């Protein structure tokens, strides 16, 4: 409970917990905070030993995500998360490091990662997902040197460096919102005006009640450097359109204040009807990017196979808005800037990790057919899409050749000549020759001479285009038919395309290392965060926030009598 719920160690010494335990189990011996510290750290050690044995016995590779974080004490931490698909074809993630970072230079990051991998006994790393910081480029380059020197690289580490798609998407949208439209500025100033005073906010909620708009948690102010917060601000404000109009009628200061604000384009002013129309169009545009960011940030399902269809859909959306310059000039200008940034990062397959496209081939719904179709549709000029598809095809076969070799060497080591001796003695050489001839005969008839698993997989009919298709479930059923290819599919599909899995640990770090627990040592912090992640396992995260509607009912006194009644009974 202390670990999972991120409670302070002194919680066990609190009056509430002691009273609670006196009712539940009076004979329970309540430990001290020091005992709880030792027990939590010991529990972390036991779980780590079990997980370490698992990694050391695992024959496959792991995919990593990493990011750095600075605590309220200005201490630097690095989070390293391992992603892999287990024997039951379930996608797993485990935080294996949340330790102090010596420095933010690339060499320091690489050394920290290597030390962590050595401590865990992890020898094979298929990919590592990082953001676009230059220090990460240096770190990955250093890791390539280490892996090559140890002879554990896969295809000369061609697929090791994975750039965070969510981070690139943020750059694409932020670049488009650089010169944000006047409508968004009006909404920002209107929301800021109302939120700056408790009296104004109270009046706004009263008007919302008159308009029969329920809920008090509605208005939110964006952070100009985060485009997703701008989308959420517009989404929340659009719900209260009539309330804003009503507020403008009853509060003269509202219009005076906003008309006193200016930017380089002139007076900002209050939101008008055209601004609300612009907001709805912009929400429809940015909402697509917002949904895509949420989709690729998941850690309980495969994301690498989603890249092609999602990112190319966004590209077509951007092109659509670029062409509609007469209909909406602001959105057209914004889309043009997004297109330039898009093509910078995703316009040339030679500059990308081809793993993003190989994952599409490993999805039995798509394979090479959808890959070629998608690339040719996005890049029709001068046969660029066709050349990109051919490059990905070659890379797919090169990667499969590696796994095929690994599979054959594994089979060779496991093969025993003793199992073949009785068959030869019982059947005789003549029978063995006949069987060999029949096998060659069947291969000629079927046209399957020298056909690899990958070729047979690509020749089969594609699976139906179902949105809820279980990719890992399909490979679990068919891994016996494609033993070598399934090894490749495990590593390719396990690769995350965003660093959100590691970044989410920083939220827990901020809650554990708050202003009241800033004296915790880095070892204890790592023990709490890692063991909490391991205990939670791969279960879906629960909502941390309280039900806003329920809170509103309490504030309005609708369930106050029931609460008082329960309190009186317990107190009695």
| 485: three-class secondary structure by DSSP | helix
Which residue blocks in 133-261 are alpha helix, DSSP H? 134-150, 165-176, 182-195, 198-210, 227-239, 241-250, 252-259
Which residues, in sequence order, are CB contacts of 101 under 8 Å at separation 6+?
68, 76, 77, 78, 108, 109, 112
DSSP state of 73: T
Distance of alpha carbon 24 from alpha carbon 228, whole angstroms = 46
Which residue blocks in 211-328 are alpha helix, DSSP H? 227-239, 241-250, 252-259, 273-296, 307-323
Query: Helices (H) and strands (E) in the chain — how many of each?
Result: 25, 7
Distance of alpha carbon 362 from alpha carbon 526, whole angstroms = 36
Token duo for residue 529: 């965060």
Long-range pairs for 531-534 at CB < 8 Å and ≥24 separation? Answer: 531/3, 531/40, 531/43, 531/44, 531/47, 532/3, 532/4, 532/6, 532/508, 533/94, 533/95, 533/505, 534/47, 534/51, 534/94, 534/95
Give me the phi and psi of 230, to 5 degrees please: -65, -40
Q: What pLDDT shows up at residue 355?
A: 92
| 438: three-class secondary structure by DSSP | helix
Distance of alpha carbon 439 from alpha carbon 26, whole angstroms = 75
DSSP state of 416: -
Query: pTM for the full model?
Result: 0.82
CB of 79 closer than 8 Å to CB of 512: no
Distance of alpha carbon 83 from alpha carbon 65, whole angstroms = 8
Longest dimension (CA), the chain: 104
Q: What pLDDT shows up at residue 265?
A: 64
Rg (CA), the chain: 29
Q: What pLDDT shows up at residue 268?
A: 84
**Alpha carbon of residue 424 to chain centroid:** 55
pLDDT in tens, the chain (572 residues): 998 888 889 899 999 999 999 999 999 999 999 999 999 999 999 999 999 998 888 878 999 999 887 776 777 888 999 999 998 999 999 999 988 888 778 899 999 999 999 999 898 999 999 988 889 999 999 999 999 998 888 888 999 999 999 888 888 888 887 766 778 888 889 999 998 888 998 888 888 888 888 755 678 888 776 778 888 888 888 889 999 989 888 888 888 888 888 776 677 888 888 888 888 888 888 888 888 888 888 888 899 998 888 888 888 888 888 888 777 777 788 888 888 888 888 877 777 899 999 999 999 999 999 999 888 888 777 778 888 899 999 999 999 999 999 898 887 766 544 443 444 444 455 555 676 676 666 656 555 445 789 999 999 999 998 888 999 999 999 999 999 999 999 999 999 998 887 777 777 776 776 666 667 888 888 899 999 999 987 554 443 444 444 444 544 444 444 343 433 344 43
Give me the phi and psi of 465, to 5 degrees please: -80, 75
Beta bridge partner(s), residue 266? 263
Secondary structure percentages of the chain, helix, strand, coil, to 5: 65, 5, 30
Give me the phi and psi of 80, to 5 degrees please: -125, 120
Distance of alpha carbon 228 from alpha carbon 174, whole angstroms = 9
Q: What pLDDT shows up at residue 259?
A: 85
Distance of alpha carbon 47 from alpha carbon 491, whole angstroms = 25
458: burial class by Cβ within 10 Å (0-12, 13-18, 19+)?
Answer: middle
DSSP state of 81: E
Q: What pLDDT shows up at residue 88?
A: 92
Distance of alpha carbon 530 from alpha carbon 77, whole angstroms = 13
- Is the Cα dihedral 89, 90, 96, 101 positive or negative? positive
Give me the phi and psi of 77, to 5 degrees please: -125, 150
Q: What pLDDT shows up at residue 215?
A: 59
Domains parsed from the chain with CATH numbers: 9-163+499-536 (3.30.420), 174-346 (no CATH), 384-494 (no CATH), 542-572 (no CATH)
């Amino acid at each position: 409970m202390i670990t999972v719920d991120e409670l302070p160690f002194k919680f066990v010494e609190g009056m509430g917990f002691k009273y609670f335990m006196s009712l539940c189990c009076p004979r329970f011996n309540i430990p001290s905070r020091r005992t709880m510290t030792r027990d939590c750290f010991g529990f972390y050690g036991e779980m780590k030993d079990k997980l370490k044995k698992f990694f050391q016995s695992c024959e496959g590779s792991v995919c990593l995500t990493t990011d750095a974080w600075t605590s309220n004490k200005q201490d630097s931490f690095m989070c390293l998360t391992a992603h892999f698909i287990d024997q039951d074809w379930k996608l797993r993630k485990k935080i294996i490091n949340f330790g102090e970072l010596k420095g933010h230079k690339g060499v320091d990051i690489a050394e920290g990662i290597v030390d962590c991998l050595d401590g865990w006994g992890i020898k094979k790393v298929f990919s590592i997902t990082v953001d676009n910081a230059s220090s990460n480029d240096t770190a990955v380059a250093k890791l390539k040197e280490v892996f090559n020197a140890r002879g554990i690289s896969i295809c000369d580490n061609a697929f090791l460096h994975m750039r965070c798609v969510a981070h690139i998407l943020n750059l694409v949208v932020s670049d488009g919102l650089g010169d944000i439209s006047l409508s968004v500025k009006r909404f920002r100033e209107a929301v800021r005006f109302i939120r700056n005073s408790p009296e104004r906010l109270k009046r706004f909620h009263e008007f919302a009640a008159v308009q029969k708009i329920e809920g008090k948690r509605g208005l939110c102010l964006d952070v100009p450097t985060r485009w997703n917060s701008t989308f959420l601000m517009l989404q929340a404000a659009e719900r209260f359109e009539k309330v804003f109009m009503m507020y403008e009628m009853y509060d003269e200061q509202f219009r005076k204040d906003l008309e006193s604000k200016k930017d380089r384009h002139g007076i900002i002013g209050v939101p008008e009807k055209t601004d609300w129309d612009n907001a709805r169009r912009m929400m429809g545009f940015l909402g697509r990017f917002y949904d895509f960011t949420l989709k690729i940030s998941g850690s309980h399902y495969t994301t690498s196979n989603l890249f092609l269809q999602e990112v190319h859909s966004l590209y077509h959306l951007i092109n659509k808005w670029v062409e509609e310059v007469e209909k909406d000039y602001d959105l057209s200008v914004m889309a043009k800037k997004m297109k330039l940034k898009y093509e910078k990062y995703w316009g040339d397959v030679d500059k990308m990790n081809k793993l993003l496209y190989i994952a599409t081939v490993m999805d039995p719904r798509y394979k090479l057919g959808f890959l070629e179709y998608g690339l040719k549709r996005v890049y029709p000029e001068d046969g660029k899409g066709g050349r990109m598809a051919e490059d990905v095809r070659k890379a797919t076969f090169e990667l499969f050749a590696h796994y095929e070799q690994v599979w054959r060497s594994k089979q060779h080591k496991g093969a025993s000549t003793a199992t073949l001796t009785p068959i030869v003695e019982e059947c005789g050489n003549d029978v063995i020759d006949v069987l060999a001839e029949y096998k060659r005969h069947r291969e000629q008839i079927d046209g399957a001479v020298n056909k690899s698993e990958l070729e047979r997989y690509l020749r089969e009919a594609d699976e139906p285009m179902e949105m809820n298709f279980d990719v890992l479930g399909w490979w679990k059923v068919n891994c016996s038919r494609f033993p070598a290819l399934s090894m490749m599919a495990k590593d390719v599909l396990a690769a995350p395309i965003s660093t959100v899995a590691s970044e989410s640990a920083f939220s827990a770090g901020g809650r554990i290392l708050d202003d009241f627990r800033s004296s915790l040592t880095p070892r204890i912090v790592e023990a709490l965060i890692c063991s909490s992640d391991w205990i939670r396992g791969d279960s879906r995260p629960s909502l941390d926030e309280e039900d806003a509607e329920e809170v509103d009912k309490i504030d309005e006194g609708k369930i106050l009598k029931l609460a008082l009644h329960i309190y009186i009974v317990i107190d009695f």
